[in-house]
Structure 1
């Protein structure tokens, strides 16, 4: 079935997040994937864990039978993310500690979460989709 992907930055995250919450349909899996920005020079994320996890996440979502919406939220460059008062670190809803973080969002709350050290493990991603 595949998945629908929406990209957001710090600047437009609230709008994108509200739109997926508002347009959520029955039996739809909503995932939030918090990532580091891409390095313009290489085209790859500055975060090695993101580089490792992204292809596994996308492959797992492609194989899934679930109707999935993936909101990719780009946290900024390294200095922006490293700031302890980064908006997604202090947001009560997410309290991010590392990148990437993959969250299953259901009924206005976190229904499952994979932190940076496990977001590249296909079996864990599949379990999050169940």
Structure 2
């Protein structure tokens, strides 16, 4: 599995397009940005889901995981105009999408991202 981090929303389209062009399976994970104090996401659900999402995707041949942090808590919580909410309908974090040339497809949201069975079915294991 290759992972690509998109730290700025304005770079998102370019990075995702590059990944999709490869023809390989592309997954996009939206999550809360890590805090400097802990180096973990401010979002407790994201902290739980992150290693499980990675474990599920690793066996997928040539998969690409796009890591898309949504910012700090104040940037995300209650902000209905956040770029990722508006453009891609990200309802909550963590959210994991399958992505193709047509854009975002199926998704898992919040606790679904930490459900091993749902993850395995979602990624095609």
Q: TM-score, normalised by structure 2?
A: 0.89
Whole-angstrom CA distance in 2 between matches of 1:15 and 1:30: 14
- Structure 1 segment 95-106 matched on structure 2, within 5 A: 95-106=89-100
2:73 corresponds to? 78
Q: Give the superposition deviation at 1:14.
A: 2.4
Whole-angstrom CA distance in 1 between matches of 2:13 and 2:115: 28
List alignment gaps of at least 5 residues for structure 2.
none
> 1:67 is paired with a residue of what secondary structure?
coil
2:39 pairs with one of 43, 51, 56: 43
Q: Deviations over 1:63-110 (max 9, x none)?
A: x2432110000110111112110001111xx20110110001124133
Aligned pair count? 122
1:31 corresponds to? 27
Find runs of 4+ consecutive structure 1 residues off by over 6 angstroms.
none
In 2 relative to 1, CA 122–4 (structure 1 residues): closer, same or farther, beyond 3 Å?
same
Q: Deviations over 1:35-80 (max 9, x none)?
A: 1100001111000000000011111222x24321100001101111
The structure with the greater share of residues assigned to helix is 2
List alignment gaps of at least 5 residues for structure 1.
none
Contact persistence 2:56–2:123 (CA under 8 A): no
Name the Cα RMSD after superposition. Answer: 1.4
Whole-angstrom CA distance in 2 between matches of 1:20 and 1:61: 15
2:51 corresponds to? 55
Contact persistence 1:66–1:129 (CA under 8 A): no
Q: TM-score, normalised by structure 1?
A: 0.86
